[in-house]
Amino acid sequence: MAKLASGVYGQALYETVAGKDSSEDMLKEIQVVRKVISENPDFTRLMLHPSVSKQEKMDVIETTFRGRVMDELTGFLLTVVEKERFKELDSIFDYFTDRIKADRGIGVVYVTSPMDLDINTRLAVEKKIRETTSYVTLETHYTVDPSIIGGIIIRIGDRVADASVKTRLDDLTSKLLDVKLG
């Protein structure tokens, strides 16, 4: 459900600035809001606390952000609080950011491998991704997960290419368990 909400709200935020020059400003101001929230964990606890009324939460949003960020962003934050979607705010912002980057031809890619990849392998992976997508540039995030044993997992948005040994072994195990003997 959170993914659905982040898509709906993220799309709504995107549509407020789509085709306008203010998308870059909105990206910067989202970073400001994220920084305020991350540096003040009590802020999030307050926004999620069931005993604090919606109106009190909306007043805090007004006091904290009105005049400091774009009015569209403040209004959006008020809507998120009013609809009780504050806990999905980070996912909403991620969706918005990914949409703006996609408009600019920037692909956000997550690559998981069992060991740290050397620079030549990274460059080869990025070249192959650019060849098979419409992205002009890539923002690639590499992580190491020894549990995948070998191979590589590439995630771009909601698409996943899993060529890990672990997944292949899991698939083989599943097929072997389905075999009926006798």
What pairing do the DSSP bridges indicate for beta strands 106-113 and 153-156? Answer: antiparallel
**Closest CA relative to residue 33, chosen from 20, 44, 17:** 44
> How many Å is the maximal CA-CA distance in the chain?
75
Look at the pTM and tell me if it is higher than 0.85.
Answer: no
Give the C-alpha separation, 95 to 117, whole Å. 28
Tell me if 79 sits within 8 A of 112, measured CB to CB: no
Give every CB contact of residue 117 below 8 A, 6+ residues apart in sequence. 111, 125, 142
Give the C-alpha separation, 40 to 27, whole Å. 20
Would you give per-residue pLDDT tens digits along the chain (182 residues)? 456 888 899 999 999 887 777 888 999 999 999 999 999 999 999 999 999 999 999 999 999 999 999 999 999 999 999 999 999 999 999 999 988 988 889 999 999 999 999 999 999 999 999 999 999 999 999 999 999 999 999 999 889 999 999 999 999 999 988 887 75
- The pLDDT score that the predictor gives to residue 109 is 94
The number of C-alpha atoms within 13 Å of 49 and in the hemisphere containing its C-beta is: 14
Give every CB contact of residue 106 below 8 A, 6+ residues apart in sequence. 135, 136, 137, 138, 139
DSSP 180: P
Give the C-alpha separation, 59 to 171, whole Å. 53
37-61 residue pLDDT tens: 999 999 999 999 999 999 999 999 9
Tell me if 30 sits within 8 A of 65, measured CB to CB: no
- The pLDDT score that the predictor gives to residue 54 is 96
Tell me if 98 sits within 8 A of 157, measured CB to CB: yes
Which stretch of DSSP H or E encloses residue 155? Answer: strand 153-156
